[in-house]
Structure 1
Amino acid sequence: MNDSRETAAAALHRRIAACTLCAAHLPLGPRPVTQFSPASRLLIIGQAPGTKVHASGVPWDDDSGDRLRGWLGIDREAMYDDARIAIVPMGFCYPGKLSGGDAPPRRECAPQWHGAVLGLLPEDRLTLLVGAYAQAHYLPHTRRLSMTERVRRFGEYGNIIALPHPAWRARLWMAKHPWFEADILPQLRAKVAALFGSGPVGDT
């Protein structure tokens, strides 16, 4: 790995950790949660940390993360190996509550940081857009499609894959759309395994 890229990544991590751009709007204060290195060939772009992730500082450290790891066919060790996986949510900090659920990611975050982070990642990376916010940002030409239709079009966006958010509601969505588990997940797991040159690692 190029030492200059490693140095740049470390400096960027420090800048993100010190970010207070949205502090006035964050009910629990800033605590940016992200993971990346210049070697990360799988990029997961989700929504924003929930309260459990804010408390632990570990991305996807909740039930949603368990479900996502199951979808990908990986375990926690693989998930948190930044030499393999970058985790870059649309908002790095917990945004608070709104109408009974979590508020949307802060709009300031992605324009401020995503370009710098993605510029450090390998060009041949596989990107997973988890949920509607990431898909609206990175697949703007699909805005007229539903999230379900984006997910159904697996393979049509090159090295970008749209996935539903793996919150508890995903179980209801999957029950209505059995093709996701039957057809999409096997292809997704195969892509992830091929990316790392090995068979899938069972979820723990």
Structure 2
Amino acid sequence: MKDTYRTLPFDELVRQVRACTICADVLPRGPRPVVQLSPESRILVVGQAPGRRVHDTGLPFNDPSGDRLRQWMGITRETFYDERKLAILPMGFCYPGTGKSGDLPPRPECAPAWREVLLERLENVGLTLVIGQYAHAWHLPGARKSVTDNVRNWHQYWPELLPMPHPSPRNNLWLRRNPWFEEGVIPKLQERVSGLLAKADAR
């Protein structure tokens, strides 16, 4: 099946992704894959899975986590939602439901079905923001079990990849305990994002 997807025109491939129903029987609100991508995308954002608000609106990071992420990146909503500049491919494309301590993990069926064939098409991406433990495990060579350890070792992956904590308000305590992230890493991130977007604008 993957070989079949590799031969599809880009727009048709994205249409197939958005029509995916492989997890329909276990998703509490049904399938609604939420992705954003273009062959021209310069930056890739990899999160966990859409939350309930994102599921309802169909707009990725349309929540307080997205507000903080855009602030970290130093960009506007308009730029963030320009697929020619920014691709968004969470580890799970659909809202997985809520458990006792927050949203459930991304569905395990999603990444094996779609990630490789989609990432192959994003040939212009110069920076991937890898957010949270599930994204770390998939995207970071030699990833450690601790998100904090991965983020502390961000230089190991820079400038192509940046391991990040989740920008959720649930992580406010982590940010207070690790001020070095916003003080030292975020300025480098904003500089890199600005440079990549300048190249995109110069096309």
Aligned pair 1:91/2:82, yes or no? Answer: no
Match of 1:126 in 2: 127
Matches of 2:31 and 2:13, distance apart in 1 = 16
SS of residue matched to 1:142: coil
Matches of 1:167 and 1:140, distance apart in 2 = 25
- Letter matched to residue 189 of structure 1: Q
Aligned pair 1:102/2:97, yes or no? Answer: no
Matches of 2:38 and 2:59, distance apart in 1 = 16
5+ residue gaps, structure 1: 199-204
Matches of 2:34 and 2:75, distance apart in 1 = 20
Instruction: Map residues 33-182 of structure 1 onto 2, 5 A cutoff.
Output: 33-144=34-145, 146-158=146-158, 159-182=160-183
- Letter matched to residue 48 of structure 1: A
Match of 1:186 in 2: 187
Q: Deviations over 1:96-128 (max 9, x none)?
A: 012231000000101111112111112552111
Q: Deviations over 1:144-178 (max 9, x none)?
A: 4x211211222211411100001112221111011
Runs of 4+ in 1 over 3 A off after TM superposition: none
Match of 1:28 in 2: 29
Matches of 1:98 and 1:142, distance apart in 2 = 26
Contact 2:68 2:167 in 1 (8 A): yes
Identity across the alignment (%) = 49
Deviation of the 1:8 alpha carbon: 1.9
Matches of 1:44 and 1:171, distance apart in 2 = 20
Deviation of the 1:48 alpha carbon: 0.3
**Most deviating of 122-131 and 186-195:** 122-131
Contact 2:132 2:147 in 1 (8 A): yes
TM-score w.r.t. length of structure 1: 0.90
TM-score w.r.t. length of structure 2: 0.90
Deviation of the 1:12 alpha carbon: 1.1
Match of 2:15 in 1: 14
5+ residue gaps, structure 2: 1-5
Contact 2:18 2:33 in 1 (8 A): yes
SS of residue matched to 2:163: strand
- Letter matched to residue 99 of structure 2: L
Contact 2:43 2:125 in 1 (8 A): no
Matches of 2:89 and 2:74, distance apart in 1 = 20
Match of 1:202 in 2: none
Matches of 2:170 and 2:195, distance apart in 1 = 29
